[in-house]
Structure formats: C-alpha cells, structure tokens
Amino acid sequence: MQLQLIAALVIVFLIVTFAVQNAVEVSVIFLLWRADASLAVVIAVCFGLGALIGALVTLPTMLRERMAIGQLHKEVEALRAENDSLRALKQNEASTP
C-alpha cells in the first residue's frame, strides 16, 4: 500500500512538473472546432480521453469474465457440496457392517 502511494505521488509530481514547464499555449483544430489551450492541458485531455476509450472498450470483456467467474464459483460450491455428501455417504457405508 505504501509503495502504491509513493508511486502515485511521484507520478503526480512528474505531471505537475510537466505542466509547469509546458505552459505554452497551442491551438487545436478538429474539423470545424478550434480551441486554444495550454500544451499540458491538451495532452492531459488527450490522455484522459484515451484512458476513457480504453476502459469503455475493455468493459464488455471484463463484465463477461466476471459473470463467468461467478458461474464457476457457483459450480465449485455445488461440486464441493456433492463431494461432501458423497464422503458422508461413504463413511456411513463403511461404518455400517
């Protein structure tokens, strides 16, 4: 946990340093849309959009896998219960002469 916190703080420090050093204003033109913003802001927005698109693309696969894991857990529990009942039956047969 502490290692993750330290890593997060280092990353935040690097991002802040990058933003301060790249305060140059740039123009972004996309189709009919134009925006003037800091280079760091443009890069941060592009990174955020990329992360969002990546998360949305992987979301269906993650949901399918979670559903499959849930079904497998149920199957494991059913098999364990069956195994326990068979062991109990075997012990009852062995103890009865």
Q: Write down the pTM of the prediction.
A: 0.57
Task: Work out the average pLDDT over 30-56.
Answer: 87
Exposure b/e, 24-61, CB count within 10 A at least 16 = b = eeeeeeeeeeeeeeebbbbbeeeeeeeeeeeeeeeeee
Percent of residues, the chain, with pLDDT higher than 70: 99
Higher-pLDDT residue of 97, 62:
62
pLDDT in tens, 52-84: 999 999 999 999 999 999 999 999 999 999 999
Ranges of beta strands (E only) in the chain are 25-30, 33-38
